[in-house]
Structure 1
Amino acid sequence: MSSPASLPEHVLTLLKTSKYLHLATASKPECIPSVSLMNYTYISPDRVYKPKSSVSDYSDKAADKGGHYIIMATQKNTEKYENILNNPQVSVLIHDWVTAKKLSLRKSSMSNTPTPAESSQEAPVQAPNADHPSRLLNLLQELNQSELSQMSATLQGHAEHLDTFSDEFDYYEQELLKANPDARVYTRGENVSVVKVKLVNAKVSDSENNTKFYD
């Protein structure tokens, strides 16, 4: 099972800069879906774990060198843990929370801007503020095609729980904590599982519902 040969730059940017993702798993054989908000870190092909053995011993895992991975941590007494054990096919949704928050704040600021009559009780009633539609129009114009297409991406992958006592577990746990120090609460105790998701395809849609697939 191989990763996409290449991912669009804005998807890679989302993977590298976002702090959270939505992880979708499903039970088996019932296929009952479950969605969780997760801390994660993205592992590019050049950062994939390599065993401490010789290079020749690593040749059997050559396919991993080109893989794109997502690393997460979860407790073993969770629904997502059981789902992954029984059905390793998962989906993740990456969202550009920073851009969305900025846009939301700007829209909120515009909508809350007082009119002249609201600013002073003694001010006479005036005609509707003609500038307000202009500000709204400017905001909409700034939401160009490239910005909208970078808002989110859906990716599918194959998940596996790593051996708690392996060097690979330790390596990816440290990578996760370097990217998300506050994720330490999810890696404490003996009941922790580090999950490695190998991305197998991506679906990207723009504001006009044009969809592209990357396998």
Structure 2
Amino acid sequence: MSCPDSLPEHVLSLLKTSKYLHLATCSKPECIPSLSLMNYTYISPDRVYAPEGTEHSSTDKCHYIIMATQRNTEKYENIIQNPQVSVLIHDWVTAKKLSLRKSSMSNTPTPSEPVQAEPAQTQNPDHPSRLLNLLQELNQSELSQMSATLRGHAEHLDASSDEFNYYEQELLKQNPDARVYTRGENVSVVKVKLVNAKVSDRDNNTKFYD
């Protein structure tokens, strides 16, 4: 299965900096979809696992995503039956900043604090509230950011292999919060080889990378 010839720098930056993604799997033959929020780490071509004593192959230009899951989950069973998966990543940086603004705006006066009425000339029943303005701004900022849908081929790694240990450590190094998903003997490390990408913005400008 081929890899994209290249991925745009803004997609690579998003893959490197984001903490979560949405993983879509589908059962077979029922074709029942499932969606999960996942911790992950991105593996660039220069960080792909190479067995000890061998050099990294310069021909391996593929990009990978590493995740961990328990084996008694729906997503695990789906991947076993159907390794075709999709992931969605989104730039939430602006939305986070607006969320902080919302928190600061929610501090309403206490009963002991006098509330001054707005001047009559500024009172307008049709004027939206500050919260409504914030929500509108939040919606627009979310849409203005780039979203990327990446399709890939998922593989469960052998828990006794050096490759499993290598990618588990890479996952925890980049994302320590994922440690809770790597505990116990029922853990599966999933390697997703990215096959293509679809990138969209708020103006519905869409580009495909194969």
C-alpha distance in structure 1 between counterparts of 2:118 and 2:163, whole Å = 71
Change (3 A) 1:122 1:67: closer
Residue 49 (str. 1) matches residue 49 (str. 2): yes
**In the alignment, which residue of structure 2 is the partner of 1:168?**
163
Q: CA deviation at 1:95?
A: 1.7
Change (3 A) 1:214 1:162: same
C-alpha distance in structure 2 between counterparts of 1:148 and 1:18, whole Å = 17
Change (3 A) 1:122 1:91: closer
Q: Which one has a larger percent helix, Structure 1 or Structure 2?
A: 1
How many residues are paired up? 199
**In the alignment, which residue of structure 1 is the partner of 2:196?**
201
Q: CA deviation at 1:121?
A: 3.6
Q: CA deviation at 1:9?
A: 1.2
Q: Which amino acid aligns with 1:14?
A: L
**In the alignment, which residue of structure 1 is the partner of 2:207?**
212
Deviations, residues 119-174 of structure 1 (Å, cap 9, x unaligned): 854556432279x99x97xx97xx79xx9243x21100000000100000000000
**In the alignment, which residue of structure 2 is the partner of 1:39?**
39
For the residue of structure 2 that corresponds to 1:127, the secondary structure is: helix
Deviations, residues 166-204 of structure 1 (Å, cap 9, x unaligned): 000000000000011121110011100000000000001
> RMSD of the alignment, in Å?
3.0
Change (3 A) 1:173 1:124: closer
Tell me the TM-score normalized by structure 2. Answer: 0.82
Contact 1:20/1:94 (8 A) holds in 2: yes
Q: Which amino acid aligns with 1:127?
A: Q
C-alpha distance in structure 1 between counterparts of 2:14 and 2:27, whole Å = 28
**In the alignment, which residue of structure 2 is the partner of 1:70?**
65
Q: Flag structure 1 segments of 5+ consecutive residues without an equivalent.
A: none
1:126 to 116, 120, 126: 120
C-alpha distance in structure 2 between counterparts of 1:160 and 1:172, whole Å = 12
**In the alignment, which residue of structure 2 is the partner of 1:82?**
77
Residue 92 (str. 1) matches residue 63 (str. 2): no
Contact 1:149/1:204 (8 A) holds in 2: no
C-alpha distance in structure 2 between counterparts of 1:174 and 1:25, whole Å = 24
Identity within the alignment, %:
73
C-alpha distance in structure 1 between counterparts of 2:145 and 2:96, whole Å = 16
Q: Flag structure 2 segments of 5+ consecutive residues without an equivalent.
A: none
Deviations, residues 39-77 of structure 1 (Å, cap 9, x unaligned): 00000000000112444xx76xx65x2010000000000
Q: CA deviation at 1:113?
A: 9.0
Contact 1:39/1:72 (8 A) holds in 2: yes
Change (3 A) 1:7 1:29: same
